Amino acid sequence: GGGGGSGPDPGRGRDPKDMVRYIKDMDRVHGIIASGDPEAGFALFESLVEEVPENHMALLQYAGALFGERRFPEAESRLLELLDRQPEMNAAWVMLGGVRSARGDIEPAAEAYRMAGSLSGRGEPYFQMASMYREAGEYPDAGAAYLEAVSREPSNQEYLDGFVEFHQSRGTLEEADTLIAGLADQEPDAPAVRSARGDILRRLGRYEEAAAELQAALDRSPGMFTTEALLGHVELELGKTAQARDRFQVLSDRRPENTPVRFGLAKALTLLGEHQAAAPLFRQILEQRPDFSPVFTFRGEILEKEGDVAGAARMYQEALRLNRGDRDAWEGYQRVRPR
């Protein structure tokens, strides 16, 4: 019978030798599918599932393999079979949401994600739902799902970054600030939320407030690398250039490969007149990331301040060629473009 077992443990009630065999069988199945013979792999999956019907993880992996091969109807059928046996299996509901989303069945997918969220209490199903709604152009629903994800897991940096980036892309950062400020009040001990609000305020040009939020986050959790870097960029905007240089130098020593930090250090050195120290940093950035448009935007800003309007226009144009979404470059070019 298929109703046995109350959890996804493939080894429950089985001899350890059977467990070792199961793991080897799974490795063999995935190897066969990866080698380009999915039909043989799926046939072996069928035999494994029939041999031990209560092995819910085998059925979940089978559905996942079908999903990976874009065999959506079969994957959905297997997942529904599994959920009939194990209705509280969160991973199966999440996968069902992914399968339905890939088929373009948006609302049935959302129902599956909501069920997963209600079972787990976690943000992951809502974060996936947000991405699905966003791709479908259903932006209000996407925004609500992003907010639900960060509300459930306010310390998850990926969810917070997604929330901020979504509102940046929609031009709704003021709304995002209102929402995240409310969340910060509810979660006073979640420094990642304060950091996210500081990032939003930075993007809005409210630098004094941004600095206060970022510092509050660091007071609660010293050593947050991204928050330290954001504070360095805010200090540059506030004219605290030497302070920013020292901060970026420490961060660069910790992670010399980090491009935004290296760029912050190069900017600070340039603004302090230390051009010889800055030049190799700019060169290294462009060697590592030839499409890093902020380098050219910054050069444009320097040339514009020096009165070289034509040179500034060329730099802004190059930045926009690399990244049409570079708002600072676009605004700079509007200031200096030939009339």
CA geometry: angle 111, 112, 118, nearest 5 deg? 90
Beta carbons of 213 and 183 less than 8 angstroms apart: no
DSSP line for 139-156: HHHHHHHHHHHHHH-TT-
**What gap in Å lies between CA 248 and CA 54, rounded to an integer?**
56
Beta carbons of 297 and 328 less than 8 angstroms apart: yes
* Per-residue tokens: 289: 């990331």
**What gap in Å lies between CA 185 and CA 170, rounded to an integer?**
24
Output the furthest CA–CA distance in the chain (Å, rounded). 82
Residues 153-193: pLDDT tens digits? 999 999 999 999 999 999 999 999 999 999 999 988 889 99
Locate tokens 């996804």: which residue? 8
| pLDDT of res. 248 | 97
Beta carbons of 195 and 163 less than 8 angstroms apart: no
Residues 56-104: pLDDT tens digits? 887 888 888 889 889 999 999 999 999 998 999 999 999 999 999 999 9
**What gap in Å lies between CA 338 and CA 199, rounded to an integer?**
34
**What gap in Å lies between CA 336 and CA 276, rounded to an integer?**
27
Question: Is residue 262 helix, strand or coil?
Answer: helix
Q: Which amino acid is at 15?
A: D
DSSP line for 100-145: HHHHT-HHHHHHHHHHHHHHH--SHHHHHHHHHHHHTT-HHHHHHH
* Dihedral pair phi/psi, residue 156, rounded to 5°: -85, 110
Of all residues in the chain, what percent carry a pLDDT higher than 90? 75
**What gap in Å lies between CA 220 and CA 242, rounded to an integer?**
24
CB-CB neighbours of 107 under 10 Å = 10
Residues 99-133: pLDDT tens digits? 999 999 999 999 999 999 999 999 999 999 999 99
Distance of CA 203 to the CA centre of its chain: 18
Residues 196-214: pLDDT tens digits? 999 999 999 999 999 999 9
Handedness of CA 223, 224, 228, 234 (dihedral sign): negative
Distances (CA, A) of 103 to 96, 115, 221, 294: 11, 19, 42, 38
- If one compares 339 and 60, the residue with the highest pLDDT of the two is 60
